Amino acid sequence: MSGIFTKNRLIGLGIALIICAVDQYIKWLVRVPLELREKGVIELIPFFDLRWTQNFGVSLGMFEATSVEMRWMLVLVTALIAGVVFVWMLRERAMGDILGLAMILGGALGNIYDRYTWGYVIDYADLHIGEFRPFLIFNVADAAITIGVLIILARSFFLRDSEEDTPKDAVAASTETN
């Protein structure tokens, strides 16, 4: 397959759409059948609850939208970032990089849809140890974005080291044969 939509890139787009769909489906479950908004909290197991949270900010609750104008500004900014991630994904060839970017894109689309539709992002996953909460309350989209960023960072650190070694080895090999 030639052109911009190679097999790996199409798989990446599929992964992004699946993450967005799963995120929206789970948010529908907590909104409609589970009525989490009305209940506030559903205790599942000693260290994990479903807890209704309306996140008006982005990235750890920062840049909170305190007005309608700010809401639409956040929709625009996050959509632009998602667009950059999409273009970046279309430029990558390695499946590992495409996977990380697809996870980021899928999560971003899920959260953008929430902000566009509701004016806030629906968060519900509350992982805790007693009263200690090592994470903010999150959703599938947030988890996908975090894992995607970790994949991109890990690949950039590990591949950068191996790519830096390769030219030196190639230079050494060419000087040995001369």
Strand arrangement of the beta sheet that strand 121-127 belongs to: 41-45, 48-55, 121-127
d(CA 178, CA 170): 13
Tokens describing residue 172? 């050494």
d(CA 75, CA 143): 19
CB 59 within 8 A of CB 115: no
Active site residues: 123, 142
d(CA 107, CA 44): 24
Report the C-alpha dihedral over residues 163, 169, 174, 178, rounded to 10 degrees: 160
Q: How many residues does the chain have?
A: 178
> Coil, strand, or helix at residue 35?
coil
